[in-house]
């Protein structure tokens, strides 16, 4: 058995090393993960720096793709945003429909979300057609898409239903709503 002084010295050295060394989680986090991706164009920067944007990091990441970088007009970038939004919403609807058809759920809240997501997708596609005809209506309609997501959230909450995939999908769609709203607001 080690003498008491030896244990005390060992404990002091251990504590000193523990205090001085970085936490394992901090040591593993890559430095670049804290930085925002650079905007792929001035148009992307214009949209993602807008006052309606609630999650700038999401905006910059979502628009760091070749289609957004190649957009030569705000109208073109808005079409890219709306296409991404509709594609993302379709992915969430596919998850919801999979749950319903597989018999995983008979929840009225989930079925309500399925109907709401059908409207979300239809509305995003409709707004694309309105861009050149009536930008003001497109701006209003893209914002109204958020109401359908709100209805889904309320249905889930009132039914006490917790499905993380739907909640994440709802957050993503709302980010796209604000991106679309900001872009159409600038037309």
- Residue range 82-130, pLDDT digits in tens: 999 999 999 999 999 999 999 999 999 999 999 999 999 999 999 999 9
What's this model's pTM, rounded to 2 decimal places? 0.79
Per-residue model confidence (pLDDT) at position 8 = 37
In three-state secondary structure terms, 39 is coil
- Its CATH class, for the domain covering 37-185, is mainly alpha
From residue 73, alpha-carbon distances to 80, 89, 90, 186 in Å are: 11, 24, 26, 11
Mention every residue, 6+ apart, whose C-beta is less than 8 A from residue 117.
89, 92, 93, 96, 148, 152, 169
Q: Which ranges in 21-65 belong to alpha helices (H)?
A: 24-28, 42-48, 56-62
């Amino acid at each position: 058995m080690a003498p008491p002084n030896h244990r005390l010295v060992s404990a002091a050295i251990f504590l000193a090393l523990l205090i001085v060394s970085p936490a394992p989680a901090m040591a593993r986090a890559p430095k670049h993960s804290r930085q925002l991706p650079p905007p792929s164009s001035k148009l992307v920067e214009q949209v993602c720096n807008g006052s309606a944007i609630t999650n700038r990091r999401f905006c910059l990441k979502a628009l760091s793709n070749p289609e957004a970088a190649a957009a030569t007009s705000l109208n073109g970038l808005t079409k890219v945003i709306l296409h991404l939004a509709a594609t993302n919403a379709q992915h969430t609807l596919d998850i919801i429909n999979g749950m319903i058809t597989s018999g995983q759920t008979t929840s009225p809240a989930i079925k309500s979300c399925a109907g709401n997501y059908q409207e979300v997708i239809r509305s995003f596609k409709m707004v694309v057609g309105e861009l050149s005809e009536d930008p003001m209506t497109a701006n209003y309609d893209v914002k109204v898409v958020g109401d359908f997501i709100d209805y889904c959230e309320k249905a889930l909450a009132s039914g006490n239903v917790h499905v993380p995939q739907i909640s994440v999908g709802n957050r993503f769609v709302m980010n796209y709503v604000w991106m679309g709203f900001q872009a159409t607001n600038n037309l």
